[in-house]
Structure 1
């Protein structure tokens, strides 16, 4: 086995994890990570980003939902790390990927987006506002 991931959602899967650990060869690396975002959280995020992208310009530039995601990820991380690109014509932001966020961090990201949207008059559509069970 070169790589495998289990999400501990039941006793059966927990037992499978224990069996794998007991049979793993020496020097096998095992990682434990916080739960990732849920499917409803992901759907809500993209609905919110689409609403913002369709309603706002940023410093005179119309950004895509993907662009806005990077803006908000940067706000969540609150740390700027830039390096020159390989051609010397610009910079690369060494930011964080949303796939690395835990459910709690993902909830924090959506709160930043909601606050920004409220400050800038964004009207979120109902699919973006369905909040039960999507934050944590």
Structure 2
């Protein structure tokens, strides 16, 4: 359905004061396929890259990469014995932001000699803007 057809359908909706609606027009969030590809890449990095003397799990790497991409901040935790990264959830990232995240992971991993799994290689080749999309 074309954009103009969608607008036409929206205009046909009659407002009901007892059931207010909100229509938001925005770029779509990352897809489930993109999310699957993210975890393939993070898994490869977590198995092959030691970070400042530690082996991080995929979830921790996601925090590291997201913080780097979004220039996030850290604050002390409630107990005062550590820190928490304040930042954006990847599920709220737009398609293009998510593609930037995958690109960052690829550059980081490639610089450190990560051998990409088949699924991660596909994710890195099929980013928005790359041939084959």
- Using the size of structure 1 for normalisation, the TM-score is 0.77
What's the Cα RMSD here?
2.5
Tell me the residue number matched to 2:110: 118
In the alignment, is the contact (CA less than 8 A) between 2:30 and 2:92 conserved in 1? no
Indicate whether 1:85 and 2:77 are aligned. Answer: yes
Give the length in aligned residue pairs: 124
Aligned mate of 2:49, from 48, 53, 56: 56
Tell me the residue number matched to 2:59: 66
Q: Structure 1 24/92 Cα, relative in aligned 2: closer, same or farther at 3 Å?
A: farther
Q: Structure 1 119/24 Cα, relative in aligned 2: closer, same or farther at 3 Å?
A: farther
In the alignment, is the contact (CA less than 8 A) between 1:41 and 1:135 conserved in 2? no
Structure 1 segments unaligned to the other structure (5+ residues): 1-9
Structure 2 segments unaligned to the other structure (5+ residues): none
